[in-house]
Chain A
């Protein structure tokens, strides 16, 4: 673009939006170019009727941007945002997601056709897939919109009710169709549609209850969370518990889904232990009811003692549930039910969902017991928030406006509720997942979460850009391989160890490697350090490939499988096997330890020294921080975490080779940390979990080869619209908003210069 030749901004914007639409057209769809005909891919994506849709998207985008100021007034009405979000979710669910795996396409329309042409399904299911779904969708959307636009409260309630009904119908109809057809199915379409309907219902409720002219979603959440701390958790527990006890499958030998009542009947005259029989018969309901009542009372009356009692009861009830589940499955295995080979097999989701529900109730009680006093507008400075923020109290104290304090106070309850819910899900959700997801949880998601937590120390806290982090992971893995005798070169017999005993060695060696790499290179500035660490990572990988002294067995990877770990305490012996779930719980323990350690570290003297070095190395040095030592420590601690992950990975996967340690993975871990929010522990965990979950999720939604492309798009969008990451660290957030606040008052031109950051 030349300066003498410039278009009016509106035209430029329109062109840009249309170009965006065209670009989207090239990305979406199954087309694939071929070597013989280079234009094939472009032709298929652009010279087709569907391009009109994408151009339309471009035009809509243009209209949305141009008339933003006009539209935004309406978008501020309470309920509008949930309405739009719910509609988007539903559209995505109905038109893009998979609903049933065994079908070729698996989309909703395919399934609907199949249902229509199948006889023997219930009338309700047929009607749902035939016309109910779109009638319900349109009806709810129109009703909610009218309710919001005309402020009709009654209509809002009606719309919410219909929406909830439609959501339940989705699950019922889909469950009916799938159980009729059989076959393994791990599609998400119906679940996402259910969530979409719930969001729509929320829109209706908001329209019905809100007295404000303008919606303030954040304040709304704060009000809800601060009304009775722990109440949302208890409500969730109630809903989940009812679902689990009344409708969910508890026991499923081959081709037979049994709810709690059915299961009790089935085991009525078998030699099931007395406790389990009692549990199936009445204890389950009683335990749930008692916990529910105590938790609800604790939350409602804000009784600290009752809260702790609820938490204790919940723990007892969960233990009882687990014992009963174990009893059921082992009895079933002894009795030779089909598909039940041993304890913990053949169980449906019911028992586990009950555990989640009980955990949620207990967590609600716990939150009620531990949140101090009434938190209202302009209340006391956020003691809870300060605890959560660890060392970032200074940043927290700076936010001195009443609104800021309120937010900090309320969010501490919110954060703790979410955290506890996350723990509950992490503990009890995986057993209900499909085998594919269990495997993905451990090998793809869990290990990389651990790695991201480690790299967060180096990048987020100490501000050192490390592009060779995977090298330490490799060192940890190969150390394990050596110590367990899986490499061609065997250790002396007294050093032959079980993988768990390799942990201290791997950590020690990675510490050493970190110091050895760090000592000569840490005086390099940001980008030079990046290339040096990158080089180091490549050197380690190439050494593994090139196999000097036949140590690493070259590109083929380890010679024989690394054995599974064993815990042998004399009286109790546990051997890990090929079941990913066992590793999941081991990983949870390791991750919990590491996170706890780092959480304490962040606020410690060392953590503050890291922050000082990151912000301004010269100033830190001047105030007496030994910068070299501090940076080396960050490097070494990060490296040892990576080594720990390496041990875990090596023993879980059994066979590994240098392909697992390519440069791309190092870069990806950096992306996880920054995506989640630099310097924030929860951010690193969330970022890594989301970005490793995404490709597994996309597996069913887009052509497999396109997954990386979509992840790239997600990365760009995230950085453009939320450069601070998913869950930014408090200290960083304060910096960023502070800087931006100052910047807007200065010359516009200066925005061309990136704000100076420590890295």
Chain B
């Protein structure tokens, strides 16, 4: 059960990142390879704010810790949103104006990914082990769930992620902006004829996705270490999660992320005995094999793909 909880925390972060991939894919039919760097920038941005707030840390209690977490989430989200906004303006919109082939977007995204990751490394540091200051007892055991220990940090991560996901779901299905996003995803030329400002919608989609990834960056950085190359692996995993759920499909991305997180934590141990049955190092292999298998049998992911229809 421990692994299930671990998997859920990891999975909820994957889901947050995957949402960014899936939103952008929905409106542009394009894999935003630089999304992982948006996630990374969220971690750095929130670190600067948190560090300014609590200095080198030390246990703070109650209300203050909650406020710092909220500040971290917000600053991460804002950083992510800003980076994503400029990313769209600089690396995507000019190409769209020129009607560039689809792979050109991919290469531009890869370039942006290199640029951002190395620029953050240059500006801050290239070490692999930056840590957030501890300002609350991250390992404090809150309660046990069917025999699994649940720590405070895990609760924070899952609750924050779920809240953001519910918020996004409401946003996309309920508001005017959400309607324009769905309309663009469904059929951009028609949406444009119906009075949707496509450029603005796309820009905002990037901002929303970026904010979610930035918040995930804060959560990830708090739970583990962070660095300028932290984005790569979670980025790939989240991309896989988005594809697993059916890329372009918001709920699919949520489910895919959670599923992938749980799967990669459960695979190394046989759930029924709790003992390792294949080595830890085979986790990713098994995860990718499962992904390929699912795609072979359901070529458009678990929930199918359209953003417009599913939400």
**CB of B295 within 8 A of chain A?**
yes
Residues in A with CB closer than 8 Å to B188 are 750, 752-753
Q: Chain A: which residue is nearest B199 at the CB level?
A: A752
| Bound form: Cα–Cα A611–B193 in Å | 33
Residues in B with CB closer than 8 Å to A33 are 122-125
Residues in B with CB closer than 8 Å to A755 are 99-101
Interface readout for B108-145 with A: 1 if CB under 8 Å, 0 if not? Answer: 10111111111101111111001000000000000000
Q: Chain A: which residue is nearest B118 at the CB level?
A: A709
Contact, CB under 8 Å: B112 / A712: yes
Residues in A with CB closer than 8 Å to B202 are 752
Contact, CB under 8 Å: A720 / B95: yes
Contact, CB under 8 Å: A713 / B111: yes
Interface readout for A664-677 with B: 1 if CB under 8 Å, 0 if not? Answer: 00010011001100
Contact, CB under 8 Å: A724 / B94: no
Q: Which of B25-33, B62-70, B158-166 lies at the interface with chain A?
A: B25-33
Contact, CB under 8 Å: B282 / A535: no
Residues in B with CB closer than 8 Å to A708 are 114, 117-118
Which residues of A from 632 to 674 have beta carbons under 8 Å from B? 663, 667, 670-671, 674
Contact, CB under 8 Å: A747 / B99: no
Residues in A with CB closer than 8 Å to B30 are 754
The smallest beta-carbon distance between A713 and chain B, in angstroms, is 5
Which residues of B from 8 to 30 have beta carbons under 8 Å from A? 25, 28-30
| Bound form: Cα–Cα A33–B127 in Å | 10
Interface readout for A436-474 with B: 1 if CB under 8 Å, 0 if not? Answer: 000000000000000000000001000001000000000
**CB of B107 within 8 A of chain A?**
yes
**CB of B299 within 8 A of chain A?**
yes
Residues in B with CB closer than 8 Å to A38 are 47-48, 51, 124-125
Q: Which of A232-240, A480-488, A521-529, A588-596 lies at the interface with chain B?
A: A521-529
**A535-B288, A716-B90 known; A743 and B99 CB under 8 Å?**
yes
| Bound form: Cα–Cα A719–B95 in Å | 7
| Bound form: Cα–Cα A3–B201 in Å | 12
In this complex, the member of A521, A530, A757 whose beta carbon has the largest number of chain B beta carbons within 10 angstroms is A757
| Bound form: Cα–Cα A530–B115 in Å | 22
Contact, CB under 8 Å: A527 / B31: yes
Which residues of A from 737 to 759 have beta carbons under 8 Å from B? 739-740, 743, 747, 749-755, 757, 759
Contact, CB under 8 Å: A532 / B99: no
Residues in A with CB closer than 8 Å to B247 are 527-528
Contact, CB under 8 Å: B114 / A711: yes
Contact, CB under 8 Å: B281 / A542: yes
Contact, CB under 8 Å: B103 / A712: no
Residues in A with CB closer than 8 Å to B116 are 712
Residues in B with CB closer than 8 Å to A538 are 236, 284-285, 288
Other A-B pairs, 13, CB within 8 Å; known A670-B107, A740-B99: A38-B48, A531-B295, A536-B288, A538-B236, A538-B285, A543-B285, A667-B110, A712-B113, A718-B107, A720-B91, A724-B101, A724-B104, A753-B96
**CB of A287 within 8 A of chain B?**
no
Contact, CB under 8 Å: B192 / A752: yes
Residues in B with CB closer than 8 Å to A520 are 296
| Bound form: Cα–Cα A211–B106 in Å | 45
Contact, CB under 8 Å: B284 / A542: yes
**CB of A301 within 8 A of chain B?**
no
**CB of B300 within 8 A of chain A?**
yes
Residues of B within 8 A of A (CB): 25, 28-31, 33, 47-48, 51, 90-91, 94-108, 110-119, 121-127, 130, 188-189, 192-193, 198-200, 202, 236, 239-240, 243, 247, 279, 281-282, 284-285, 288-289, 291-292, 295-296, 299-301
- A45, A459, A752: the one contacting B198 at CB < 8 Å is A752
Interface readout for A29-49 with B: 1 if CB under 8 Å, 0 if not? Answer: 001111100100110010000
Q: Which 4 A-B pairs have the closest CB atoms?
A: A715-B111, A712-B114, A723-B100, A712-B115
Q: Chain A: which residue is nearest B288 at the CB level?
A: A535
**CB of A495 within 8 A of chain B?**
no
Q: Chain A: which residue is nearest B131 at the CB level?
A: A35
**CB of A335 within 8 A of chain B?**
no
| Bound form: Cα–Cα A663–B232 in Å | 10
| Bound form: Cα–Cα A269–B46 in Å | 78
Interface readout for A161-197 with B: 1 if CB under 8 Å, 0 if not? Answer: 0000000000000000000000000000000000000
The smallest beta-carbon distance between B75 and chain A, in angstroms, is 14
Q: Chain A: which residue is nearest B279 at the CB level?
A: A546
The smallest beta-carbon distance between B185 and chain A, in angstroms, is 11
| Bound form: Cα–Cα A675–B295 in Å | 30
- A528, A706, A740: the one contacting B98 at CB < 8 Å is A740
Residues in A with CB closer than 8 Å to B90 are 716, 720
Contact, CB under 8 Å: B127 / A35: yes
**CB of A381 within 8 A of chain B?**
no
Q: Chain A: which residue is nearest B105 at the CB level?
A: A754
Interface of B is mostly: helix
CB-defined A-B contacts under 8 Å, sample of 29: A27-B119, A35-B125, A38-B48, A41-B124, A521-B292, A521-B295, A523-B299, A524-B295, A530-B31, A532-B291, A532-B292, A535-B292, A542-B284, A663-B236, A670-B103, A670-B110, A674-B103, A705-B121, A705-B126, A712-B111, A712-B112, A716-B91, A716-B108, A718-B111, A719-B107, A749-B198, A751-B96, A754-B28, A759-B103
**CB of A56 within 8 A of chain B?**
no
**CB of A142 within 8 A of chain B?**
no
Q: Chain A: which residue is nearest B90 at the CB level?
A: A716
Q: Chain A: which residue is nearest B113 at the CB level?
A: A712
Residues in A with CB closer than 8 Å to B111 are 671, 711-716, 718-719
**A527-B31, A538-B284, A705-B118 known; A41 and B95 CB under 8 Å?**
no
**A712-B113, A720-B91 known; A459 and B103 CB under 8 Å?**
yes
Q: Chain A: which residue is nearest B202 at the CB level?
A: A752
| Bound form: Cα–Cα A538–B282 in Å | 11
Contact, CB under 8 Å: A759 / B118: no
| Bound form: Cα–Cα A759–B102 in Å | 7
The smallest beta-carbon distance between B264 and chain A, in angstroms, is 13
Residues in A with CB closer than 8 Å to B285 are 538-539, 542-543, 546
**A26-B122, A538-B284, A712-B114 known; A754 and B289 CB under 8 Å?**
no
**CB of A736 within 8 A of chain B?**
yes
In this complex, the member of A459, A719, A749 whose beta carbon has the largest number of chain B beta carbons within 10 angstroms is A719
The smallest beta-carbon distance between B286 and chain A, in angstroms, is 9
Residues in A with CB closer than 8 Å to B121 are 705
The smallest beta-carbon distance between B240 and chain A, in angstroms, is 6
The smallest beta-carbon distance between A708 and chain B, in angstroms, is 5
The smallest beta-carbon distance between B33 and chain A, in angstroms, is 8
Residues in A with CB closer than 8 Å to B289 are 535, 539
Contact, CB under 8 Å: B103 / A465: yes
| Bound form: Cα–Cα A266–B103 in Å | 59
Contact, CB under 8 Å: B284 / A723: no
Residues in B with CB closer than 8 Å to A724 are 100-101, 104
Residues in B with CB closer than 8 Å to A534 are 236
Residues in B with CB closer than 8 Å to A535 are 240, 288-289, 291-292
The smallest beta-carbon distance between B196 and chain A, in angstroms, is 9
**CB of A322 within 8 A of chain B?**
no
**CB of A377 within 8 A of chain B?**
no
The smallest beta-carbon distance between B175 and chain A, in angstroms, is 15
Residues in A with CB closer than 8 Å to B94 are 720
Residues in B with CB closer than 8 Å to A739 are 99
**CB of A734 within 8 A of chain B?**
no
Contact, CB under 8 Å: B299 / A35: no
| Bound form: Cα–Cα A528–B285 in Å | 18
- A545, A716, A720, A752: the one contacting B115 at CB < 8 Å is A716
Q: Chain B: which residue is nearest A523 at the CB level?
A: B299
**CB of A678 within 8 A of chain B?**
yes
| Bound form: Cα–Cα A740–B98 in Å | 8
**A41-B124, A542-B284 known; A750 and B103 CB under 8 Å?**
no
Interface readout for A1-24 with B: 1 if CB under 8 Å, 0 if not? Answer: 001000000000000000000000
| Bound form: Cα–Cα A523–B289 in Å | 17
Contact, CB under 8 Å: A757 / B103: yes
The smallest beta-carbon distance between A147 and chain B, in angstroms, is 36
